[in-house]
Amino acid sequence: MIPASWMPHRRADGEVVGYLREAGDGFQPMDLLGRPLAEADDWSDAEALLDEHSLAWLMDAFLLTVDGGEVRVRVTEITPERVRVKRDDLGAVGGDARFWELPVPDGGRLQPAPPLTEWPG
């Protein structure tokens, strides 16, 4: 669960794109999964980093560590408490509808997936 001390940062339309937390003498922008993006000396720099990061990264595929292996997944829902992911079926109709729910922060179980170089099969 995202700590109550982290301050949500919203883009112009009101959507939360991340969080700001105090870090030493500055601030640290955190993504929606509770992972640090970078260090920032002041509040406005931290906000700029979150605005730049935005939400587009949530459309990318991730690798989920599960049962000693990795499964390629896509984020379907994210809240301050949990993230829900679905097996990446590459848009197949009637594909594998397996879902997993993880706490936020996810404990490092989700990592960006490398691009596919060939169709899995």
Beta bridge partners of 82: 103
Q: State pLDDT tens for residues 71-110.
A: 999 999 999 999 999 998 776 666 667 889 999 988 888 9
In the block, residue with structure tokens 């883009």 = 11
Q: Give pLDDT tens digits for 41-77.
A: 788 888 888 998 888 888 889 999 988 889 999 999 9
State whether residue 6 is helix, strand or coil. coil
Give the span between the Cα atoms of 36 and 46, in whole angstroms: 11
- Judge contact between 76 and 84, C-beta under 8 A: yes
> So what's the pLDDT on residue 75?
92
Q: What is the pTM of this model?
A: 0.79
Q: Which residues pair with 84 in a beta bridge?
A: 77, 101
